[in-house]
Amino acid sequence: MAADLPYDQRVALTRSVLQILDGWSLAPDDQCGLLGLDQPGAVRRLRRHRLGNPFPDEPEVWVRVALLLDIDRAVNQLFPHSGAAADLWVTTPRIKFGRRTPLELMLSGGVEGIRRVARSLDNLDLL
């Protein structure tokens, strides 16, 4: 996926996803966990990406990027007048997820956990 994109577009997508994760107020280790990146040295790794280095050209990383962008888009459609409410959605326990937060599900479930959260938003099955 990423190999097909121009370098500047990969950099822009990298920065966009990092802004989303910052809006969700996630720790660097959690940000790397969601992205499927090595967590040792998370602060340094994320700093390099914020300074203009795109995420690695690994298919799983870019699948995660696409899913996280979809989740952000869907949540912002649910809360069009409150960016704060949209950002809090990820860290608020949901009945649908066994009273776990979407973040917990995504971190523990890897790509499939992220897909599950994205599907629940696509179906507007938010409880």
> DSSP string of 67-91?
HHHHHHHHHHHHSTT-HHHHHHHTT
Could you read off the pLDDT of 7-62 as tens digits, one per residue?
A: 999 999 999 999 999 999 999 999 999 999 988 889 999 999 999 999 999 999 99
Percent of the chain with pLDDT over 90: 87
* Verdict on whether the full-model pTM lies above 0.85: yes
Q: Report d(CA 72, CA 70) in Å as an integer.
A: 5
Q: pLDDT tens-digit profile of 52-90?
A: 999 999 999 999 999 999 999 999 999 999 999 999 999
